[in-house]
């Protein structure tokens, strides 16, 4: 009950039950099997049961065959006994008829009957060949019979014809009774009859054994059918439900992946589905990491770069007024250029943040382009006044489109701003709004210098700006057109331009008037449950593995039942044969005794003889009816039976004639004169139909035995052929389905490798089952991941390329200014330059860290190991972080450490410095940060501790201020991993500690 209580109210899971039942080995084995191995196991379980059942059934069939052979042997024995007794009674009749007629035919038939006795005895001797006692008794019987027969035959030709019934009976009536008693004695020899009684009892037992065996085989067939079907069904359903359940987990993870959820369910096992799920989870983790890093990068660009740039810009703006006692013209020009560059970098930061949002999170609704144009013209009006530029507009009716208002405004402002930048003073910009049946279009035409032909193909690329000799370079990054292109195309629109040197440029975009169709390849696509169309078909395919073999088994079982029915009929026929021969024996006995008692009654009119004759005749009629019923429906037997019954009917008529005739009647009254053809003379032919009937029954034994053997052979053959066919069908179908599932699942898992290798994903193959849906969603996820990583790499590359070099130039300019090259500095000027230098240096370090982290996460090895002393690393981080810590009023406590290791001192210093800076920025004054080195087992641990710690969960979109901190953690983790170690975050009463764990002998 405790075991059941554990699972009460829970969804039944066989794998949990197996594990709970202390069978972890079986559970672990099942988890390690591949799909192909599992399907083969599904085939093997019912096959093993079927083979066991077939072996058991085959053994019982062999036992049945042995029992039937024994029964056939006993049937032949009983039949031989009946033939022997029938022959004895025929001898009595033939001897009597010879005395009445002295016909040679009677003598001849008597001799034939004697020969039949010899044949019957030979048959019995063969049946009793291994029974010496019976053989001796049979020999004794044969001696008695042959002696009697020789005496009778010796009298043939020497005995005269009897004239009356009294003479026929010989020496009076008493002699006739002696003849009857002698015949009965010959058919009931004690030592022979005992054997026949034993054989009859044995036959009854064997008949019961055969029937019991047949019943057992029927029961076993039912049980075997149930067991095989149950095993096939259970194993098939277990596999099907296992596949279905595991695929549902994959599909749930895919849906979670499509919905942007980060918490996915892992799956145990080593088959292709678990590997596919691992690929899905890995993809989700990569997308999550990419999104987090993307958000982190965006946050760093938005927050960590914007603020220092603003401070540098403020310092450069203040320098000409308060920083110099006297400023040279060259210095003023250099300051102006640097200030313009800083402003351009600020614009770049703004555009980079917008680049992350381009084409995403669209709020599409009906939008009037006339109103949008009016709004944008008001926004750029101050810019047009600065250059005395006029803007003319040409409007159209029905220009309502489906678009995102803010995004469309951003695009139009970008086009107007570019037109204003490149247009000469006192020129005109033309804005044209037009409409067609399916879309509305806005074009902006300027009178600028035009775009050189060589830039036409890449004007919408990132950082592409057309340059004309003598034209002033605008303070922009070249990202505006790329962002505009992504925004317009994400809304189902188009964007383009035309330009000639000296004639100006025209930029245009068009948007649809109808709601654009949803594109499956959109990386921001959020499919609803209803839209995620797939049909659960794989579990049905798995059921086919057992369904078709089950059909084969059912057909086999029905055929087996048919075979068993045929065999039962043969057994029934075999068991009927002894009854037929027994009836023939009883008929022959009644014919003989009935005739003899009728003769005795005619001789002396004793009532006892009449009663005996009537009793025998009644027995004849009863046995005739039973024989007729027993042999009904069989054409051959029916004919033989009818002949026999006709002959017996003649006997009955003869008996009545004898009874009704005068006492001691003349024999000619009944049988006529010698050579006549009276009806009663047919009595001497009773032997022939009886002989034919017995001969047919004997042949029937042989034919039934052969037929039963053939049925048993066909039965066994069908069983084994069925097992082979069912197994081959199940194995072939299972392997086919397994191969399909395995190849598809493996292909999907392999495609997940494209994510880490940054390769383009192939188009998904058509289909609507579970794996097709997984493939389609993996394709969408892969596209998203590739775009995210490409965007991240591009943003970092942009930041590194566009910001680091100009910032380095600004530091060089600051150094020149501090040297007094452009004029004497005031005290305020020294402070402003020091502040600008610090902020610019911080920016360069931050950008360098960001770039190195991206390289490490992309798989590039940056660490170069060599033997170093930890003291050297700590000395470096002390020099790099002491001043920033002092500026914040934070105490930096760095432990002395002489420990040596194999590592990269510059990368370790970089990681530790990034951690310290991120912590110092968040600590209040008079706080302390500790840096220490310790050895834990086989690791060297570089630990940074702070009383208020850092975020354990890391960066979250809700806390953008933690972006720099998370970047520092990621940089430290990647650095540790490239050293062969890892990063650990621990919490204690004193605060939180970050530990870079490195192998001691690395």
- The model's pLDDT over 284-308, given as tens digits with 9 standing for 90+, comes to 777 777 677 667 667 666 666 777 7
**Which SS3 state, helix, strand or coil, does residue 937 take?**
coil
Joined together, the tokens standing for residue 852 give 């190195």
List pLDDT tens digits, range 311-344: 777 877 888 888 787 878 887 887 887 777 777 7
Q: Residue 299 has what pLDDT?
A: 67
Angle at the Cα of 55 (from 53 to 61), degrees rounded to 5?
100
Q: Residue 931 has what pLDDT?
A: 92
Angle at the Cα of 796 (from 793 to 802), degrees rounded to 5?
130
Q: Residue 512 has what pLDDT?
A: 92
**Least confidently predicted of 147-161, 183-197, 218-232, 444-458:** 183-197
Tally DSSP H helices, then E strands, for the chain.
Answer: 26, 14
With bands split at pLDDT 50, 70 and 90, how would you rate the model's confidence at 948? low
Is residue 92 within 8 A of residue 179, CB to CB? The reply is yes
Q: Residue 571 has what pLDDT?
A: 73
Q: Stretch 119-142: mean pLDDT, rounded? A: 83
Cα–Cα distance list, 963 to 532, 785, 910, 954 (Å): 35, 20, 17, 8
Buried b (16+ CB within 10 A) or exposed e, 684-694: bebbebbbebb
| Chain CA centroid to CA 71, Å | 53
In this structure, CATH architecture of domain 861-1002: 2-Layer Sandwich (3.30)
Eight-class DSSP state of 764 = P
Whether pLDDT at 899 is above 80: yes
Helices within 128-189 (DSSP H only): 132-155, 165-169, 172-187
Is residue 885 within 8 A of residue 892, CB to CB? The reply is yes
Give me the chain's average pLDDT, please. Answer: 75
Q: Residue 695 has what pLDDT?
A: 77
As a whole number of angstroms, the distance between CA 892 and CA 633 comes to 116
Eight-class DSSP state of 388 = T
Whether pLDDT at 630 is above 90: no
Eight-class DSSP state of 394 = E
Q: Which helix (H) or strand (E) holds 194?
A: helix 190-258
CATH class of 362-523: alpha beta
Q: Residue 181 has what pLDDT?
A: 57
Buried b (16+ CB within 10 A) or exposed e, 401-417: bbbbbebbbbbbbbbbb
| Residue 432, phi then psi, degrees to nearest 5 | -120, 125
Instruction: Give the percent of the chain with pLDDT over 70.
Output: 75
Q: Are strands 390-394 and 428-435 parallel, antiparallel or unpaired?
A: parallel
Other Cβ atoms less than 10 A from the Cβ of 724: the count is 12
Is residue 300 within 8 A of residue 356, CB to CB? The reply is no
As a whole number of angstroms, the distance between CA 16 and CA 12 comes to 8
Q: Stretch 839-865: mean pLDDT, rounded? A: 80
Q: Residue 802 has what pLDDT?
A: 61
Cα–Cα distance list, 943 to 75, 557, 986, 1001, 1002 (Å): 100, 75, 10, 18, 18
As a whole number of angstroms, the distance between CA 449 and CA 422 comes to 7
Question: Looking at the DSSP assignment, which residues form a beta bridge with residue 943?
Answer: 932, 995
Q: Which of 738, 725, 767 is nearest to 544 (CA)?
A: 738
Is residue 648 within 8 A of residue 587, CB to CB? The reply is yes
Q: Residue 243 has what pLDDT?
A: 72
Question: Looking at the DSSP assignment, which residues form a beta bridge with residue 523?
Answer: none
Other Cβ atoms less than 10 A from the Cβ of 718: the count is 17
| Residue 129, phi then psi, degrees to nearest 5 | -60, -30
Global model pTM greater than 0.75: no
As a whole number of angstroms, the distance between CA 316 and CA 323 comes to 9
Contacts of 900 (CB under 8 A, 6+ apart): 867, 868, 869, 870
Whether pLDDT at 768 is above 80: no
As a whole number of angstroms, the distance between CA 736 and CA 987 comes to 55
Most confident segment among 65-69, 559-563, 885-889, 940-944: 940-944
- CATH 3.30.565.10-classified regions of the chain: 362-523, 861-1002
With bands split at pLDDT 50, 70 and 90, how would you rate the model's confidence at 508? very high
- Give all strands of the β-sheet with 939-946 in edge-to-edge order: 891-894, 928-936, 939-946, 991-999, 982-988
| Residue 89, phi then psi, degrees to nearest 5 | -70, -35
- What is the length of the chain? 1002
Q: Which of 537, 546, 529, 33 is nearest to 247 (CA)?
A: 537
Largest CA distance in the chain: 183
Contacts of 125 (CB under 8 A, 6+ apart): 135, 138
As a whole number of angstroms, the distance between CA 39 and CA 276 comes to 18
Secondary structure, 3-state, 681-732: HHHHHCHHHHHHHHHHHHHHHHHHHHHHHHHHHHHHHHHHHHHHHHHHHHHH
Q: Stretch 437-466: mean pLDDT, rounded? A: 76
Q: Residue 526 has what pLDDT?
A: 39
**Least confidently predicted of 504-513, 748-757, 858-867, 871-880:** 748-757
| Chain CA centroid to CA 841, Å | 59
Q: Is the model more confident about 853 or about 429?
A: 429
Q: Is the model more confident about 929 or about 529?
A: 929
Q: Stretch 798-826: mean pLDDT, rounded? A: 75
């Amino acid at each position: 009950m405790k075991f059941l209580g554990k699972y009460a109210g829970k969804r039944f899971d066989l794998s949990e039950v197996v594990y709970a039942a202390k069978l972890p080995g079986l559970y672990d084995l099942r988890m390690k099997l591949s799909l192909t191995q599992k399907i083969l196991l599904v085939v093997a379980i019912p096959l093993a049961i079927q083979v066991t059942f077939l072996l058991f059934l085959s053994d019982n069939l062999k036992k049945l065959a042995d029992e039937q052979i024994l029964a056939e042997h006993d049937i032949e024995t009983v039949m031989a006994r009946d033939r022997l007794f029938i022959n004895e009674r025929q001898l009595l009749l033939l001897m009597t008829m010879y005395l009445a007629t002295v016909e040679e035919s009677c003598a001849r038939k008597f001799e034939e009957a004697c020969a039949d006795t010899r044949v019957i005895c030979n048959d019995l001797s063969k049946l009793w060949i291994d029974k010496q006692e019976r053989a001796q008794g049979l020999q004794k019987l044969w001696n008695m019979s042959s002696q009697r027969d020789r005496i009778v035959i010796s009298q043939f030709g020497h005995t005269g014809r009897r004239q009356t019934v009294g003479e026929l009976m010989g020496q009076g009536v008493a002699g006739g009774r002696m003849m009857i008693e002698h015949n009965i004695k010959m058919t009931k020899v004690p030592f022979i009859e005992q054997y026949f009684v034993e054989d009859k009892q044995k036959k009854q037992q064997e008949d019961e054994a055969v029937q019991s065996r047949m019943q057992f085989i029927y029961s076993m067939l039912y049980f075997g059918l149930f067991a095989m079907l149950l095993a096939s069904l259970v194993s098939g359903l277990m596999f099907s439900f296992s596949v279905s359940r595991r695929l549902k987990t994959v599909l749930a993870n895919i849906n979670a992946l499509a919905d942007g959820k980060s918490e996915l369910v892992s799956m145990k096992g080593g088959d292709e589905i678990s590997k596919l799920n691992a690929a899905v989870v890995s993809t989700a983790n990569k997308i999550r990491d990419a999104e987090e890093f993307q958000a982190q990068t965006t946050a760093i660009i938005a927050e960590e770069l914007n603020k220092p740039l603003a401070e540098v810009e403020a310092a450069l703006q203040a320098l000409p007024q308060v920083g110099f006692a006297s400023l040279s013209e060259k210095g003023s020009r250099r300051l102006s250029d640097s200030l313009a560059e800083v402003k351009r970098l600020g614009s770049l930061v703004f555009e980079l943040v917008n680049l992350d949002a381009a084409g995403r999170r669209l709020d599409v609704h009906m939008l009037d382009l006339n109103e949008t144009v009016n709004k944008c013209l008001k926004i750029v009006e101050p810019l047009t006044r600065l250059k005395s530029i006029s803007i003319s507009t040409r409007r159209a009716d029905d220009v309502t489109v489906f678009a995102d208002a803010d995004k469309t405004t951003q695009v139009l402002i970008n086009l107007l701003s570019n037109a204003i930048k490149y247009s000469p003073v006192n020129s005109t910009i033309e804005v044209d709004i037009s409409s067609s049946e399916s879309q509305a279009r806005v074009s902006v035409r300027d009178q600028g210098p035009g775009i050189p032909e060589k830039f036409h193909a890449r004007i919408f690329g990132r950082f592409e700006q057309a340059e004309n000799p003598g034209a002033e370079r605008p303070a922009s990054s070249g990202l505006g057109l790329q962002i505009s292109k992504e925004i317009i195309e994400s809304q189902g629109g188009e964007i383009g331009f035309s330009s000639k040197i000296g004639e100006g440029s025209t930029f245009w975009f068009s948007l649809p008037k109808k709601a654009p169709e949803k594109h499956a390849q959109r990386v921001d696509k959020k499919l609803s449950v209803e839209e995620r169309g797939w049909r659960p078909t794989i579990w049905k395919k798995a059921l086919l593995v057992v369904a078709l073999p089950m059909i084969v088994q059912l057909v086999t079982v029905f055929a087996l039942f048919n075979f068993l029915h045929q065999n039962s009929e043969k057994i029934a026929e075999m068991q009927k044969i002894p009854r037929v021969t027994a009836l023939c024996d009883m008929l022959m006995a009644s014919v003989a005794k009935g005739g003899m008692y009728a003769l005795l009654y005619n001789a002396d009119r004793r009532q006892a003889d009449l009663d005996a004759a009537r009793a025998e005749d009644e027995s004849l009629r009863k046995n005739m009816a039973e024989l007729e019923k027993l042999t009904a429906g069989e054409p051959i037997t029916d004919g033989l039976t009818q002949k026999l019954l006709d002959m017996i009917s003649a006997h009955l008529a003869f008996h009545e004639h004898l009874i009704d005739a005068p006492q001691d009647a003349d024999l000619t009254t009944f049988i006529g004169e010698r050579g006549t053809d009276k009806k009663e003379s047919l009595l001497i032919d009773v032997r022939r139909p009886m002989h034919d009937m017995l001969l047919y029954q004997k042949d029937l034994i042989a034919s039934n035995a052969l037929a039963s053997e053939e049925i048993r052979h066909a039965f066994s053959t069908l069983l084994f052929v069925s097992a082979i066919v069912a197994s081959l069908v199940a194995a072939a179908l299972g392997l086919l389905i397994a191969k399909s599932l395995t190849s598809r699942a493996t292909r999907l898992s392999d495609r997940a490798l494209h994510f880490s290798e940054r390769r383009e994903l192939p188009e998904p193959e058509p289909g609507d089952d579970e794996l097709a849906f997984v493939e389609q969603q993996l394709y969408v996820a892969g596209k998203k991941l590739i775009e995210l990583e490409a965007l991240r790499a591009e943003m970092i590359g942009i930041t590194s390329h566009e910001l680091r070099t100009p910032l380095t130039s600004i530091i060089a300019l600051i150094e020149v200014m501090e040297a007094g090259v452009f004029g004497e500095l005031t005290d305020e000027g020294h402070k402003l330059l020091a502040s600008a230098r610090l902020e610019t240096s911080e920016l360069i370090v931050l950008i360098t860290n960001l770039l190195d982290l991206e390289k490490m996460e992309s798989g590039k090895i940056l660490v170069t190991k060599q033997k170093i002393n930890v003291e050297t690393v700590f000395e470096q981080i002390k020099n790099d972080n002491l001043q920033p810590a002092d500026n914040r009023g934070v105490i930096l406590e760095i432990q002395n450490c002489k420990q040596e290791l194999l590592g990269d001192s510059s990368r370790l210093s970089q990681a530790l410095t990034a951690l310290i800076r991120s912590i110092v920025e968040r600590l209040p004054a008079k706080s302390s940060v500790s840096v220490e080195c310790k050895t834990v087992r086989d690791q060297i641990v570089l630990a940074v501790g702070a009383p208020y710690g850092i975020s354990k969960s890391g960066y979250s979109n809700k806390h953008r201020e933690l972006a720099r901190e998370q970047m520092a953690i990621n940089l430290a983790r990647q650095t540790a991993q490239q050293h062969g170690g890892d990063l650990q975050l621990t919490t204690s009463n004193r605060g939180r500690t970050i530990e870079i764990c490195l192998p001691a002998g690395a």
